[in-house]
Amino acid sequence: MGFPISDRGSLGVGIVGLSASGGWAANAHVPALSRLPGYELRGLASSSAATAKAAGDKFGVALAFDDVQRLAECEEIDLIVVTVKVPEHRDLVMTALGAGKAVLCEWPLGNGLGETEQLADAARSRGLPGFVGLQARSAPTIRYMRDLVADGFVGEVLSTSVIGSGGSWGASIDARNAYTLDRDNGATMLTIPFGHTVDALTMVLGEFADLSVTTAIRRQQVTNGDSGTTLPMTAEDQIAVTGALDSGAVASMHFRGGMSAGTNLLWEINGTAGDLVLTGNSGHLQLADVELRGARSGDALAAMTPPRRYELAPSDQFGDAPRAYNIANAYAQIRDDLLTGTAVAPTFEHAVRRHRLLDRIQGKTLGADSVGER
Instruction: Verify that 198 and 147 share a domain, yes or no.
Output: yes
Provide the pLDDT for residue 145.
98
C-alpha to C-alpha distance for 28 and 287, rounded to whole angstroms: 10
Residues of 161-195 as b/e, b for ≥16 C-beta within 10 angstroms? Answer: bbbbbbbbbbeebeeeebebbbbebbbbbbbbbbb
Length, in residues, of the chain:
374
Domains contained in the chain, number: 2
Residues whose CB falls within 8 Å of the CB of residue 153, separated by 6 or more in sequence, listed in order: 271, 273, 274, 276, 294, 296
**Confidence tier at 365 by pLDDT (50, 70, 90):** low
Q: Do 181 and 257 belong together in one domain? A: yes
pLDDT tens digits, residue range 304-344? 999 999 999 999 999 999 999 999 999 999 999 999 999 99
For the stretch 213-260, pLDDT in tens is 999 999 999 999 899 999 999 999 999 999 999 999 999 999 999 999
Q: Which residues contact 143 (CB under 8 A, 6 or more apart)?
A: 137, 306, 310
- Alpha helices (H) in 139-276, listed in sequence order: 140-150, 195-205
Residues 127 and 20 reside in one and the same domain:
yes
Q: How confident is the model at residue 297 (pLDDT cuts 50, 70, 90)?
A: confident
Let me know if residue 143 belongs to a domain. yes
| pLDDT tens column, 171-194 | 999 999 999 999 999 999 999 999
306 Cβ contact list (under 8 Å, min separation 6): 140, 141, 143, 144, 292
Last-in-domain residue among 111, 135, 159: 135
Alpha-carbon distance of 310 to 296, in angstroms, equals: 22
Query: Are 160 and 40 in the same domain?
Result: no
The count of other CB atoms within 10 Å of the CB of residue 100 is 12
Question: Within a 10 A sphere around the Cβ of 365, how many other Cβ atoms?
Answer: 19
316 in a structural domain: no
> Contact 172/181 with Cβ under 8 angstroms?
no
The answer to whether residue 371 scores a pLDDT higher than 80 is no
* 132 compared with 368, residue with greater pLDDT: 132
- Report yes or no on 248 lying in a domain: yes
> For residue 276, which amino acid is it?
L
Do 168 and 238 lie in a common domain? yes
What is the overall mean pLDDT for the chain? 95
Residue 24 placed within a domain: yes
What CATH number should be reported for the domain holding residue 69? 3.40.50.720
Residue 340 maps to a domain: no
**Domain final residue pick, 135, 161, 182:** 135
- Looking at the fold, whether 149 and 26 belong to one and the same domain comes out as no
Looking at the fold, whether 240 and 296 belong to one and the same domain comes out as yes
| Model confidence band, residue 363 (pLDDT cutoffs 50, 70, 90) | confident
Residue 368: pLDDT band (50, 70, 90) is very low
CA contacts within 13 A on the Cβ side of 84: 19
Tell me, yes or no, whether 214 and 359 share the same domain.
Answer: yes
At residue 301 the predicted structure's pLDDT band, cuts being 50, 70 and 90, is: very high
Q: Kindly report which listed range (1-10, 15-24, 26-35) carries the lowest average pLDDT score.
A: 1-10
Q: Using CA atoms, how far apart are residues 110 and 106, in angstroms rounded to an integer? A: 9
pLDDT band at 78 (very low <50, low <70, confident <90, very high): very high
Residue 320 lies in a domain: no
Whether the Cβ atoms of residue 65 and residue 43 lie closer than 8 Å to each other: yes
pLDDT at 2: 63
- Pairwise CA distance, residues 322 & 305, whole Å: 17
Residue 367 has pLDDT above 50, yes or no: no
pLDDT interval class at 369 (50, 70, 90): very low
Are residues 170 and 57 part of one domain? no
pLDDT of residue 370: 37
Strand locations in the chain (E): 11-16, 39-45, 63-65, 79-82, 102-106, 130-133, 157-165, 172-173, 208-216, 221-224, 230-232, 238-245, 250-256, 265-271, 274-280, 290-296, 302-303
User: If you average pLDDT over residues 46-60, what whole number do you get?
Assistant: 97
Asked if 153 and 282 sit in the same domain, the reply is yes
Q: Say if residue 355 is in the same domain as residue 212.
A: yes
Which residue, 86, 108, 135, sits at the end of a domain? 135
Domain check: are 78 and 130 in the same one?
yes
Establish if 332 belongs to a structural domain: no
* 4 lies in some domain: no
* CATH assignment of the domain containing 275: 3.30.360.10
d(CA 3, CA 305): 34
Domain extent, residue 198, equals: 137-309+347-363
Check whether 155 has a pLDDT greater than 50: yes
Would you state the pLDDT for residue 298?
Answer: 86
